[in-house]
Amino acid sequence: MARITKLLIAGRGEIVRRVMRTAREMGIATVAVYADSDAAAPFVREADEAVALRGTTSAETYLDVAKILDAAGRTGADGVHPGYGFLAENAEFASAVIGAGLVWVGPRAEAIAAMGDKIVAKRLMTEAGVPTLPAVEVTGEIGDELVRRARELGYPLLVKAALGGGGKGMRVVSSEAGLAEAVAGARREAAAAFGNDTVFVERYLRTARHVEVQIVGDRHGNVIHCFERECSVQRRHQKIIEEAPSPAVDAGLRLRLGEAAVAASKAVGYDNAGTVEFLLDDEHKFYFLEMNTRLQVEHPVTEEITGLDLVREQIRVAEGNPLSFRQEDLRISGQAIEARIYAEDAANDFLPAAGRLLAWEPDPALPARFESGVEAGFEVSPHFDPMLAKVIVHAPTRTDAALRLASVLERLRVHGVTTNRDFLVNALRHDAFLAGDTSTDFIERHAPARERAIRVEDVRAAALAVALVRQARHRAEARVLATIPSGWRNNPSTMQEVRFLHRGEHVAARYLRGRDGGFAYDVDGHGGEARIVRAEDGRIELEIDGVQRTLTVTSDGLRHWVQGACGEVYLAEIPRFPEPEQERVTGGYVAPMPGKVVVVNVEPGQPVSSGQVLVIVEAMKMEHAITCTEDSTVKAVRVAVGAQVEAGQVLLVVDTAEGGA
């Protein structure tokens, strides 16, 4: 047996912290590797040693096998855990690690290669008797043969990357007219994310459930399943809410799924932690989707209902030990649900966001399992996946778990970067979710609100809280005339005023301190009495018209986030003096976020039509199409393929007066 004494984790973010936690419990020293933008990240600081990979992109850092092996050699690491993403399902990396004399904490390279190519995997599963969906590999250009075979499969179809996962390199095609564009886009995205542009086409089940089975195998011939998870709530084919067990799976179906997952694993001689994914249709027929030859993002929900530490089992198996449990030892206890918090704008079609995280603070009054890669001050980079954390709740019942997780999320202080937090809360509390109606089209079919419904009373309280905290800070910081309240007027008998924008609407907060220490206030014509019960470090206990609430105010210049028991209110303060504006161009189309231009479809003088894709910008491993909003003519193209652009940068300009084609 090979004993691991120092483990290098070849990834970034929360999974590195997760693996390090178990490694430390097992008495194993840890090594992290990092890109330039991650130098100050928590996982780097918490590792026993961390090695700079000297680069900014995935290709320059976390995908560079030579650099990672060099880091292992320099630090004396004798084992490598690949985490997930990047090189986790790269058979050549596994072979290189083993070839360097290190212990690989993962399955055999042959199993990774077989299951890493989804086309090969489908063939193997068919031979093993596991149900699969028919598929067609795309080779070369889009020709008549592919069009014919796609027609035989029947629309809608799903174009998928043969290697990789995480929703990258995937496109739904509703009709033959969109096939070529979908294949081209999936190829570009697959090449950027996985270094391989091979794609295939399979039948798309719109209302299926995504159900997967956790398996663990060892090198002594044992393969055990750890029950199922459901991961149907997805956007852009990427999971955002996962749970175990599935509300759609009964004891009989659970047995059949487990047997199929074990058969799939034994077909490739699987010997570590992995996941066999299935699509489950309305008639409870299931079809093999793919096998992930690594630890999954959502593995904590399985750990919560079984009591297992899957990372510990991974390390023990890699060292040559047999599994520490048998199939008959496992029982399902309660329900676990996980939600992934992403830096993204749910109200703007889940567009990824970047920037500095000003606050990250869970509410200690509501315990939950947080697996995060961030902290206050963390810079969310446009170069990597925008997941900030996953939050897991375990409870006796599914309803208890969903509702408690919603409360945990809405009480989390996460400010500075736009997140999907409010959307997750709305999804978890949706009647359809609570009823277990969770197919892969859940978001499209049930349309949970993308933003929080904010009461006017909450906006009023938030505006007043910012105004009063702002005033207190100015008074404390004042060096001269510190007894005079801050504001826009110097008449002590006149209300001080602070103006804000909230979701595009103007909010004016006025207040006047009384002799008793209280305040008379007026917010947009609603007046009353307020009193500060206690205030320190941005936390304010505020009584408004006899109702007391506790709020925290996080500010960055003129941007303010107010967190209460029911969620966040964001207010943009209107400055006393106008600030220089960004360039505004009539007819201009701008980059929605920092990224790289990968496609420019137009040239000056070209007529364009509403809905036409003009430019495609790649950011955070995803492509974002800039589409024409009305018929027009292109006046100027300001970028070229390969250009790096900033958020708000003008990409091209059109003339709407001339009309389009």
Instruction: Give me the phi and psi of 59, to 5 degrees please.
Output: -60, -35
**Res 134: pLDDT:** 84
pTM for this structure? 0.86
Kindly tell me if the per-residue pLDDT of 417 is higher than 60. yes
The residues, any chain, with a CB within 8 Å of residue 653's CB and separated by 6 or more, are 585, 586, 587, 588, 589, 634, 635, 636, 638
DSSP 105-147: SSS-HHHHHHHHSHHHHHHHHHHTT--B--EEEE-SS--HHHH
3-state secondary structure at position 526: strand
Q: Residue count of the chain, please give it.
A: 661
The torsion defined by the Cα of 364, 367, 373 and 377, in degrees rounded to 10, comes to -10
Which of the four pLDDT bands, split at 50, 70 and 90, describes residue 661?
very low
Average the pLDDT over 502-517 and give the result. Answer: 92
**How far is residue 232's CA from residue 241's CA, in Å, rounded to a whole number?**
7
List domains and CATH numbers for the chain: 6-105 (3.40.50.20), 134-203 (3.30.1490.20), 211-433 (3.30.470.20), 456-573 (3.30.700.30), 588-658 (2.40.50.100)
Per-residue tokens: 569? 């209110």
User: 21-78: per-residue pLDDT in tens?
Assistant: 999 999 999 999 999 999 999 999 999 999 999 999 999 999 999 999 999 999 999 9
The average pLDDT across 315-320 equals 98
Average pLDDT of the chain to the nearest whole number: 91
pLDDT value of position 288: 94
Which pLDDT score, from 0 to 100, does residue 481 have?
43
Whole-angstrom distance, CA of residue 306 vs CA of residue 300: 10
